[in-house]
A and B are shown apart, each in its own frame.
Chain A
Amino acid sequence: MNSPDPELHHSLLGTYQARKKVHPQRIDGFYRRFKWLIMIVTLAIYYGTPWIRWDRGPYAPDQAVLIDLANRRFYMFNIEIWPHEFYFVAGLLIMAGIGLFLVTSMVGRAWCGYACPQTVWTDLFQHVDRFVDGDRNKRMRLDAAPWTAGKIARRLFKWAIYLVIAFWTGGAWIMYFADAPTLVREFWSLQAPFVAYATVGILTATTFIFGGFMREQVCIYMCPWPRIQTAMMDEKSLTVTYKDWRGEPRGSVKKAEKNPGEYGDCIDCNQCVAVCPTGWDIRKGPDISCITCALCIDACDRVMDEVGRPRGLIDYLTLEDSEGEKRGQDHRPTWKKILRPRSVLYFFVWAGIGLGLLFALGARSHTEINAAPDRNPPYMLMSDGSVRNNYTVKLRNMEARPREMRVGIEGLEGATMWSDTMANEDAARTIDVDVPADATQTVRIYVQAPKGTAAQDFSLSVVSLDEQAETDAVETRFVTPGEE
């Protein structure tokens, strides 16, 4: 029979699990340094990217990475994506998804442990805690202490730092959506668009709350990824493992000295729990709470060194290997665990999509024509018996310079056309249109065919009048009286 969970707190208002605040202890070690490195790199990418300049000539922005929502363009170094090419973004998202599968199949929840923004910012805020309030024990004491003036001052100071970090986080985000130097100037002179302030406000609030207060609860309760990950992991995925066959039964060094041979390697010092940023006890086994940041490995290795026992009581292991090692197998090298059919397959799918996208990017045309025939009225009879059809033609110039384009009628014997900006006496088989740089030019085109022309399909073609001479054509229909 199940007994009621003692951790469940019963209150008047409801049943909920009270959060036990986590106060991770400072630790140094291989994985901690690796985490520092990733933190620096990811934060540098996040804060620095919008400030990289990239010369695209006079007609396009010179920001290397820019999501220009107002003009509906996405710039990334020498790539420019238009809204109709959103499949590139979809492809990148698919790659990101498969990339996560790839990483998960090789090294488990490495994303959660090192690179996820929630992890990186939580880590950052926990360093702030340490900086302001001291290490674990001091913080726990302070937490339990009454609200004296000193504590209030400390808390306000800490929250102020939180707020500054949160504000910079939100502030950096909007730089991706507009020219960064201009936006900074506008932002501080209160001339930026309202949406900029709103975005900064929202992201400041979420960063402040998620990084400063909710922390591991986001991973455990809010984020869907750990739940997906439990389905993604298999017995061959690397994960942080406590070697219970080596560690149990636990006993202090003193006890072990008194009763040699009776205790395992774990001295029950609780360091692995103390350093855990989510407060999990890895000795209970893998759990959704374990983001596999491996700080417990650092902590345990240090303790093992101190007591003179071999390192690796807590280690990156696959479930399969831990079963094997339990039976006495040797430790397999990590690359053998990583290179396996599943991860190789993921890699090829991932790389294949990437190469496909690159190929599509290289092969795409920068000139395009589209035509929409008028439906109301579908045709117009002219006084000389000829018939006119109107088309709304869109000419797309994806080069960052103005170009002249020649639109021509393919087929439709005897027909001529003119546009809304020219006199119909100048009607001809081809007309030249100036298309501004990096823009779509809409032209109303009137196509007139002589008396007796039958309804038929024909094409409107376009050729760019430059050395590229890019071409495109669109098929459309010419309708005549009684032959719609």
Chain B
Amino acid sequence: MGNKRVDEPTGTEFVGHEWDGIEELNTPLPRWWLWTFYATVIWALGYVILFPAWPLIEKGTEGVLGWTSRGQLAEEMRLADESRAAVREEIAATPLNQLVDNPGLMQQAVAGGRAAFQVNCIQCHGSGAAGSQELGYPNLNDDDWLWGGDIDAIQYTLVHGIRQQGDPETRTSAMPSFDGILDAGQVEATIDHVLSLSGQAQPNAQGAELFAQNCAICHGTDGTGLREFGAPNLSDAIWLRGSSREAIASQILNPRMGMMPKWEDRLDPVTIKMLAAYVHSLGGGEDLAEVAVEPEVQVDEQS
């Protein structure tokens, strides 16, 4: 270290490393940089002591604070539940058909229902609640309801399900198979009559007679259906499983009937209430009492 050599143009000392005549000058770090570096070292030591840090064979070191990401998640979930508790209590205390009188609460219920719908219902009914004609899942946006579309009826369906085994109060009915009862010609005549109800085919006497004998008891003499049995309205524009001749023949000869699980064992009553409010709010809900509203003011963020 005895002979310090100084680079003349810059007045800076050499470090002493040389590669092919190129030498390194000793330009130390700024003081603030060094201090920041020492501060990060101290920070890291504190971190290692306080938080999980070293991976070991079975588990890692746990840290003095006992922090875990799972614990943090659980705590955040608990706080989120707590923050919702007041609204949930209020919803629980409000009879469903009076919910519409309280627009603020209704809005909360609809929002909660939307969230629950996205978790529990979209598997069959789709994320937009539009259902599926191929699979026979009903569209919940329209005004056609098999079992009733007022908010209480919707809740009943949610609680007890449809054709749910083991629930004596479930909504249930069965469309009989007419395979072997009606011959091919009679089936064709019946299809013609069914289609004629919505103006899609010419009426025919044979079909009308067959319909009156076999179908009218559930679907009504004019084919408008009967909600007590969940018998679909056959005279409207909405077809649960399609309006092609094949689809109708298939339903007559080999009927498929929808099944909806009951939710009372899986979801708490408040969530079911919120789901009912949400489904009712999709635009087809029936018997919405008009309410004097002071609607929630929403702050404009972007438009």
Contact = CB atoms under 8 A, between A and B. Distances in A.
Contact of A16 (B31, B126, B302): B31
Interface in B249-303: 281, 283-284, 288-291, 293, 295, 297-303
B128 interface: yes
Contacts of A440: 297-300, 303
B73 to A, nearest CB: 24
B283 A83 contact: no
Contacts of B143: 382-383
B105 interface: no
Contact of B237 (A368, A375, A424, A451): A451
Size bracket, chain B contacts: 35 or more
Contact of A421 (B33, B127, B291, B300): B291
B8 interface: yes
A392 to B, nearest CB: 10
B238 A84 contact: no
A390 to B, nearest CB: 6
Nearest to B128: A376
B303 A396 contact: yes
Contact of A82 (B128, B288, B297, B300): B300
Nearest to B287: A423
A2 interface: yes
A71 interface: yes
A13 interface: yes
A385 B143 CA distance: 11
A161 interface: no
B27 interface: yes
B226 interface: no
Interface in A360-397: 368, 370, 374-377, 380-385, 388, 390, 394, 396
B300 A383 contact: no
Contacts of A377: 126, 128-130, 139, 141
Contacts of A394: 298, 300, 303
A442 interface: yes
A420 interface: yes
B180 interface: no
B301 A15 contact: no
Given A13-B34, A16-B31, A384-B237, A72 B301 contact: yes
B103 interface: yes
Given A84-B303, A376-B130, A381-B237, A15 B298 contact: no
A1 B302 contact: no
Contacts of A82: 300
Contacts of B283: 380, 388, 390, 444, 446
Contacts of A15: 27-28, 30
A396 B297 CA distance: 11
B8 A441 contact: no
Given A1-B8, A13-B34, A381-B238, A423 B289 contact: yes
A441 B29 contact: no
A422 interface: yes
B233 interface: yes
B281 to A, nearest CB: 7
B1 to A, nearest CB: 14
A2 B9 contact: yes
Contacts of B192: none
Contacts of B27: 15
Contacts of A84: 300, 302-303
B249 to A, nearest CB: 22
Contacts of B34: 13-14
A7 interface: no
A375 B8 CA distance: 73
A299 B233 CA distance: 100
B23 interface: no
Max chain B CB contacts within 10 Å: which of A12, A382, A423, A426? A382
Contact of A441 (B30, B126, B289, B295): B295
B298 A442 contact: yes
B238 A382 contact: yes
A348 B300 CA distance: 35
Contacts of B297: 436, 439-441
A14 B30 CA distance: 5
Most buried by B among A1, A381, A384: A381
A384 B197 CA distance: 12
Interface string B134-161: 0000010111100000000000000000
B191 to A, nearest CB: 20
A187 B155 CA distance: 49
Given A377-B128, A383-B144, A385-B237, A11 B31 contact: yes
Contacts of A446: 283
Q: Which of A14, A84, A443 has the most CB of B within 10 A?
A: A14
A161 to B, nearest CB: 28
A396 B300 contact: yes
Contact of A382 (B9, B10, B142, B303): B142
B35 to A, nearest CB: 8
A422 B301 contact: no
B298 A441 contact: yes
Contacts of B142: 380-383, 388
A3 interface: yes
Contacts of B301: 72, 83
Given A16-B31, A381-B142, A446-B283, A423 B290 contact: yes
A84 B302 CA distance: 7
A380 B237 contact: no
Nearest to B224: A383
Contacts of A422: 290
Contacts of B299: 71-72, 439-440
A4 interface: yes
B253 to A, nearest CB: 25
Contacts of A8: 11
Given A13-B34, A16-B30, A72-B301, A421 B128 contact: no
Nearest to A421: B293
A380 B303 contact: no
Contact of B11 (A3, A426, A443): A3
Contact of B141 (A13, A380, A424, A451): A380
B236 interface: yes
Contacts of A390: 141, 283
24 contacts: A13-B29, A13-B31, A14-B31, A14-B34, A16-B30, A16-B31, A84-B302, A368-B303, A376-B130, A377-B141, A380-B284, A381-B142, A381-B237, A382-B144, A383-B142, A384-B236, A394-B300, A423-B288, A423-B290, A440-B300, A440-B303, A441-B298, A442-B295, A444-B283
Given A4-B11, A443-B295, 18 more contacts: A2-B9, A4-B10, A12-B28, A14-B34, A82-B300, A376-B128, A377-B139, A380-B130, A380-B139, A381-B142, A390-B141, A421-B290, A422-B290, A434-B295, A439-B298, A440-B298, A442-B298, A444-B283
The 3 lowest CB-CB distance pairs between A and B, nearest first, are A4-B11, A376-B128, A383-B236
Interface of B: 8-11, 27-31, 33-34, 103, 126-130, 139, 141-144, 233, 236-238, 281, 283-284, 288-291, 293, 295, 297-303
